[in-house]
Structure 1
Amino acid sequence: MARENQGLQIALITFVILTLLLAVFTYLFFRQYDEQYRKAQAALEEAAKANDAARSAQTDLNTLKTILGFSTTDPMDKITQTAKQELETYGADLDPSQQNYRTVLDHLFKTLQAKSATLVATEQKLRDAEAKIAQLEASKAPLIAQEKNRADQAEATLTQERQKFTADLQASFQARDDLQKRVTEAQQQAQDALAQLDAAKKDFDRRIRTVSALLAVRTKELEATKNPRLETPDGRIQWVNQQLGTVWINLGEADGLSVGTTFAVFPGNTLNIADAERKGGIEVTAIRGPHLAEARIIDDKVSDPIMPGDVISTLIWSPGDRRRFAITNFVDIDDDGRSDQELLISIIRQSNGIVDAWLDDEGNLHGQLTADTDYIVVGNEPPEGTNVAVIQARSDMLKRADEMAVQRISVRELLRRIGYKRETHVVRFGPGANPADFRAKPKEDEVIRQSTGAVSEIFQPRQPPRAKAGTAF
């Protein structure tokens, strides 16, 4: 029992001590809180005063900005810079220490008053001067009237003299014009006579040149008749590779040969190329030496293949010589109804030939036909509905070629003589199709057989059987 009371006492004492300590700590904490609260209230009051002062200062600043003509949102740097520039501009004649808005405005106001006073005085002087001028004008009015009368009399006299002078001048001009007209007529007659004489001379010279050219041609033809000149081959095939379709010829760089030149191939025993039948065609693909070139076979016959020793010839080129050509319009190589004039020009130039002139399908002449032109290549006849001017241009070109003794040759004959063969014939379908592409055509180099009109004895006309006498038949 005594031990239980002692424990209660110890517990009670501990509780009392803890309560006292709690009371002391609570007092100390409350005291610090009260001091901090009073300090916070004092800081809030000072902050409120500072905010009021800042708002008042901002209001004053915005008012000052508005008075100075600035926006309330403009920064002070911009306002300071602008104010400095304005003070330096409008207060340039003031001391820098006096350059502020009030001083500058006062200075400008005083300057404006002084200028206004000066302007008023100047206006008064101007009015006085105008009054004096009016007095002078009034005093000299009689003199002006007198001088005006004299001037009118002088003007009338001058008008009479001018009219007389004009009449005399017109008479002289008329005489001059009549003389000039007679001189002009005489000059025109002389020019017409000279033009007629010059035209006659040119026509006579042209006729002389034409006759001379024709005479030279006829002389050559006569000599050729007496001593026929054979057209000899240009070269010879040395080696053939039928598997690769390749041949080697004895022409090369030293002969002036160029890649792309085409040759017609003839048998090796051919003497006159003009009358011989060609057996194929080749095209030069590479120059291998001074007198050696490689070519591909573009046309040959299985029954008569190209062999070593066969001769080659082209109408466009020969060793050391380049032939010159002129071409008419309506050139159609593949019979598709479309112009192949550009292709023919390319073929001639590729074979080292020269195209002096060509006439397009619109009748426009390109280049010039000269006396050095060797051949004129004649295209197809103009189709129906061709413009008369185009037909006339073609006729004029052919006539000009005849006058200059230029030899005519057809497109087909030229291509045959140079060994050309088109690679592929394109047949077009649809609205742009050519009806000629669908007609039966003979093979190239095939002879078309024609009827002689005679009937073989095997085919005798049949007669109906005749009735026999005394029978039913």
Structure 2
Amino acid sequence: MASRDNQTLQGVVIALVLLLILMIVGLLLINNERKKQVARADAAVQDASSQRTAASSAQSEANSFKQWMGFKEEDTFQTVEEAFKEDMTKYGSTFDESVRFYSPLLQNLQQENHKLALSETQAKSNVKELDEQLQALKAEMEKQFTEFRNTEKKMQEDAAAERAKFEKTRQDMVAEQNKLAEQLAQHREEVDKARSELSSAEKKQTEQLAKLDRDITILRSNQADPDPFAQPADGLVRWVNQKDQKVWINIGEADHLRPQVTFTVYSGDESDALKAETKGSIEVTKILSPHMAEARITSDIPTRPLMEGDKIYSQVWNRGRQVGFAIAGLIDFNDDDKSDLEELNRIIALNNGKVDAQPGENGGVDGEMTVDTRYLILGEFPDSALKDSEAQRQAWAKMNESADRLGIETISLDEFLTLMGWKVELRTVALGSSARPEDFPLESRGEYKVPNNQYSPGSFRPRKPQPTY
């Protein structure tokens, strides 16, 4: 592209030179004609010699200019002007109007031509460098192509070796597969044989089981059905020392037993702890082994002493887990008009039990009863005229309603303590067979009505007893 522009500029310069030559020739011709005219005018105009001399000088200069510009001497000003405008339009349109003259135009063209020559030289140098780089790239590409062809050849050789190896492996696998098929067929024969023997043995076992089922049915028909609602015992009395008032029971550390837990004792012939007649009570004093503990006798009946083989039961303690209780009403063990609610909580906690709900402050209820709550322990009915009694009565009614809805058995405080084998320390009246009726005077309870679900011996109990573990 640069070479083409240089050629164009050279053509323009040549054209301008030719034009200048033509202008000079034209001016010479005009000058000759002028001389002829002067010669003819010398005879006619003698008085204007000075003017003709000036005109001649001016004309001479004009002719010189025409010659320098490439015009003829006979060319008129109009012709020169039109040629000048045409040249400026053609060759100086890209230049400022202040330099649109022949001399500045030629200078600018010469400068542009010089710049183009420099650009052409630089371009040729760049072309040479690029050509050298292209040759180096071609050499590098050829080298890479050679390496690629060598690598491809090696990969083809490796692939052929791998195919041969795969074919050998496949043949070995086919042979192994055939061998396994033979072994499988042999194993199937052995399995079929074993299955046949197993079927015969299973048939014989089925016949024996059917015979045993008939024997079990006959044995069960000769036995009485056990009570599904019977409460089992928590343990047994293994040995009794009447002199020291001590007993040893068959539960201990592995059963999560701890000292101060109390049990009621009843005859070993009884199957339901809740219906059995109590013979006395004991309190654990020492844990001896995983399944052995020592206890002291807290109460007994002289005519029915505690004996080896008697059963023990606690409504609060349960093997391996906590039993939930709820407490309603006013709790007073010894009729001293002071609340013993904390003492009852302590008794339940000592026997590994927990309190799910109890009377709260301002007559409210702390906690909530659930289906896992074992008993609702009923204290005194809050029948006083005190300010908080109405709220306490509402709490009493609410807790009894919840017990009815959840099927929770209710038990009086005295009955609970008796079944627990707990003895009130400050009580002065005798218990057991030596008790006197006058020691237990009747107390007015106002309009208190016993809840419908309160437990009484011999009544129907819809809930199964809590399982023991």
* Bin for the TM-score computed over the shorter chain: 0.3 to 0.5
Structure number with bigger Rg: 2
How high is the TM-score relative to the length of structure 2?
A: 0.42
How high is the TM-score relative to the length of structure 1?
A: 0.42
